[in-house]
């Protein structure tokens, strides 16, 4: 460990990793750059935005059987939000990065220089690229600005430093091509859960409350900066809001909520479930924090509800004409198998391909959602489950959906079942029913009586022709017969 005094304030600054070339003084935010055995100050580093993260400097854990300790962090902002990159040092001297975004975590290590990487400007969602014989597909492309940092880092960052990265997936593997500097480097790892890392020295809830004034995941109320309507969102987890009244897109990731896109007054939208409604699912209390209404190319519409639980995270509940579905994003991506896909030895065949456009958005989301967002969707079916691939301009997302019985949804949200319908067959829209819906009698009797009375003159004019009489009688009986059968 190398220790030195901060040139600005004199406080002790420690470099615990031999690979660290920069450290941020925790007292004055001075940026110290280490060069051989000398240290020089290079401006000030902006403080990180308080984001309710449970990770902190000094957090330790295990990944793939190797112990690590978190030494530093940079915070990066892009057009749909921000994320943390935690710099970790393993006990054997190797280094890694623990990426944290909206409660999702990915651990990667430096895998060397990329061999013939594609140009950053040429990256397209779902494009293939091979690394050491393994085929990966592009999941996400983004450019981001460093907005703050703390602790030790293996390279020098400062105001205006820009990250340019492409994230690739193959089954459970995660690969990042870092275009921030030349030559392009490869970082290889996998999505992880914080619980599986067996972390020690995570921030306790009381420390988060002391720093932020509220619990992570607690519901926060604020007034829409555009129209003043009441907005609510779970702190630290959903940072992008869409005002239900004026459709303004509001970023609440910083200390002050800001309007990033103006909207227009929304027409009232009726849906089966409402924002803020809670339901008990699998023993947990879930809250509906976001609602989308989407439309395909043929005009069919459906609702997508974003549900949130403080420790379990997020999932989607979809309501369409076909019924209800529960949708969960996939960390383990399927393999492409010709025109079909395969996930954990289960083959899924093509089902539908269509476009989905957001026509209504309201509530809180863990990414920036807005009216007009459009994705291309490909559905694959297998063993009663549907896998969906959604592709937008810079991103690909895979999800798995399973049908949910309407009765289960009613029980989750403590709704009363619709009044029991009559056992009689339902009348089709293009049929005409002469049956009365009241219990006071039927409209058939007066109608048939009127029919007979109106036909009496015709019988006399036709000379009491028996054929006319019998035709009229048969018509009357044809109308009367269904009601006689139902009595």
Separation CA 61–CA 90 (nearest Å)? 9
Spatial contact of 29 and 47, defined as CB atoms under 8 Å apart: yes
pLDDT of 159-179, one tens digit each?
678 899 999 999 999 999 999
Separation CA 470–CA 460 (nearest Å)? 14
Question: What's the Cα-to-Cα distance from 248 to each of 11, 82, 223, 267, 276, rounded to whole Å?
Answer: 45, 19, 12, 14, 19
Which residue would you say has higher pLDDT here, 351 or 480? 351
User: Percentage of residues in the chain with pLDDT exceeding 90?
Assistant: 43
Q: Which of 438, 343, 354, 430 is nearest to 391 (CA)?
A: 354
Band (255; pLDDT cuts 50, 70, 90): low
pLDDT at 120: 96
* 379 bridge partner residues: 352, 388
Reported pTM: 0.72
pLDDT of 137-162, one tens digit each?
999 999 998 888 888 888 877 667 88
Spatial contact of 69 and 215, defined as CB atoms under 8 Å apart: no
Instruction: Report CA Rg, the chain.
Output: 32
pLDDT at 229: 78
Separation CA 1–CA 19 (nearest Å)? 11
Tokens representing residue 476 in the block: 């009357």
Q: Which of 190, 36, 8 is nearest to 104 (CA)?
A: 190
Separation CA 110–CA 108 (nearest Å)? 7
- For residue 54, whether the previous peptide bond is cis, meaning omega lies within 30 degrees of 0, is no
Q: How many distinct helices (H) and strands (E) make up the chain?
A: 4, 31
Phi and psi, residue 467, nearest 5°: -65, -40
Separation CA 210–CA 207 (nearest Å)? 5
DSSP 298-328: TS-EEEEEEEEETTTEEEEEEEETTEEEEEE
pLDDT at 387: 96
pLDDT at 436: 33
* 4 bridge partner residues: 13
Contact residues for 319 (Cβ-Cβ < 8 A; gap 6+): 271, 272, 273, 302, 303, 304, 305
Neighbours of 336 (CB within 10 A): 14
Separation CA 115–CA 458 (nearest Å)? 96
Which residue would you say has higher pLDDT here, 79 or 129? 129
Separation CA 377–CA 184 (nearest Å)? 31
């Amino acid at each position: 460990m190398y220790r030195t005094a901060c040139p600005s304030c004199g406080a002790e600054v420690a470099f615990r990793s031999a690979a660290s070339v920069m450290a941020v003084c925790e007292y004055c935010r001075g940026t110290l750059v280490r060069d051989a055995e000398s240290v020089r100050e290079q401006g000030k580093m902006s403080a990180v935005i308080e984001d309710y993260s449970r990770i902190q400097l000094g957090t330790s854990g295990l990944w793939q059987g190797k112990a690590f300790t978190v030494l530093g962090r940079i915070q990066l902002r892009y057009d749909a939000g921000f994320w943390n990159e935690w710099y970790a040092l393993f006990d054997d001297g190797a280094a890694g990065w623990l990426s944290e975004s909206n409660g999702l975590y990915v651990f990667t290590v430096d895998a060397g220089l990329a061999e013939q990487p594609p140009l950053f400007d040429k990256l397209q969602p779902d494009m293939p690229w091979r690394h050491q014989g393994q085929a990966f597909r592009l999941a996400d492309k983004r450019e981001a600005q460093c907005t703050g940092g703390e602790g030790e880092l293996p390279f020098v960052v400062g105001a205006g430093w820009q990250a340019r990265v492409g994230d690739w997936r193959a089954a459970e593997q995660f690969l990042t091509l870092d275009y921030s500097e030349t030559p392009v480097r490869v970082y290889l790892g996998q999505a992880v859960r914080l619980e599986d890392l067996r972390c020690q020295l995570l921030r306790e809830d009381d420390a988060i409350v002391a720093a932020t004034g509220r619990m992570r995941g607690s519901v926060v109320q604020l007034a829409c900066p555009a129209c003043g309507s009441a907005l609510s969102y779970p702190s630290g987890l959903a940072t992008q809001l869409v005002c239900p009244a004026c459709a303004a897109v509001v970023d609440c990731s910083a200390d002050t909520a800001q309007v990033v896109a103006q909207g227009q007054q929304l027409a009232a939208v009726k849906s089966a479930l409402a924002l803020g409604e809670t339901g008990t699912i699998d023993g947990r209390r879930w809250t509906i924090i976001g609602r989308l209404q989407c439309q395909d190319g043929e005009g069919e519409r459906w609702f997508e509800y974003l549900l949130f639980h403080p420790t379990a995270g997020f999932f989607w509940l979809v309501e369409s004409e076909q019924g209800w579905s529960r949708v969960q994003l996939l960390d383990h991506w399927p393999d492409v198998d010709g025109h079909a896909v395969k996930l954990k030895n289960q083959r899924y065949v093509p089902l539908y391909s269509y476009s989905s456009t957001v026509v209504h958005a309201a509530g809180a989301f863990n990414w920036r959602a807005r009216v007009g967002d459009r994705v291309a969707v490909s559905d694959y079916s297998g063993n009663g489950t549907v896998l969906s691939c959604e592709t937008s301009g810079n991103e690909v997302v895979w999800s798995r959906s399973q049908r949910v019985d309407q009765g289960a949804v009613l029980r989750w949200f403590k709704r009363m079942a619709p009044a029991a319908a009559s056992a009689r067959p339902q009348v089709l829209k293009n049929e005409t029913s002469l049956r009365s819906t009241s219990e006071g009698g039927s409209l058939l009797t007066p109608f048939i009586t009127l029919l007979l009375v109106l036909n009496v003159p015709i019988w006399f004019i036709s000379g009491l022709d028996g054929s006319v009489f019998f035709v009229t009688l048969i018509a009357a009986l044809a109308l009367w017969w269904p009601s006689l059968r139902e009595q």
